[in-house]
Amino acid sequence: MNQKYIFLICLIFLNNISANIFNDKTNITAERIEYNQNSNEVSFLNNVQINSNILSISASTAIYNNESNLFLIKGLPSIIKSNNSKRAFNGEAEEILLFSDEKVHLIGNANIKIDNMSISSKLIIFNPITGKIFSN
């Protein structure tokens, strides 16, 4: 598929994600990008890097589903860190889910360091904008 066409599709998809986590300065790179029209998904494969004003993520794969407005990010581990000095955090997990309501789920061998606190759990849910965090 034409790279320009895939890039435009990605821009349209990203405009639907929460404007507070992703914005015009968001940059996503990967070795390969695929668009599946049937599932309405964009897949970013191999050496994925996501950078916005709020956060940075490094992972193996990332799949954005336009129907559910959800980003599923996988890696061994996937690494997330803050790009906002007012809400400093860093963490990792097997999977990261980014929701349109600004919540981030770290799933599987998850850990996060935020302020002077360190949390490890199977599931950690937090908001990178407000700094609210809770774990199961």
| pLDDT on residue 104 | 92
The amino acid at residue 29 is T
H, E, C per residue of 125-136: EECCCCCCEEEC
Q: What is the pLDDT of residues 19-52, one digit of tens each?
A: 456 655 778 899 999 989 899 899 999 999 999 8
Instruction: Give how far Cα 29 sits from Cα of 6, 35, 99, 131, Å.
Output: 12, 14, 20, 26
Under the banding of pLDDT at 50, 70 and 90, the label for residue 125 is very high
Are residues 5 and 13 in contact, defined by beta-carbon separation less than 8 angstroms? no
Say which residue the tokens 């914005």 belong to: 23
For residue 12, is it left (φ>0), alpha (ψ between -120 and 50) or beta?
A: alpha
- Domain of residue 36: give its range: 3-135
Q: Which of 19-23, 108-112, 119-123 has the least mean pLDDT? A: 19-23
Number of domains into which the chain is organized = 1
- CATH classification of the domain holding 127: 2.60.450.10
Under the banding of pLDDT at 50, 70 and 90, the label for residue 87 is confident
| Mean pLDDT, rounded, of the chain | 82
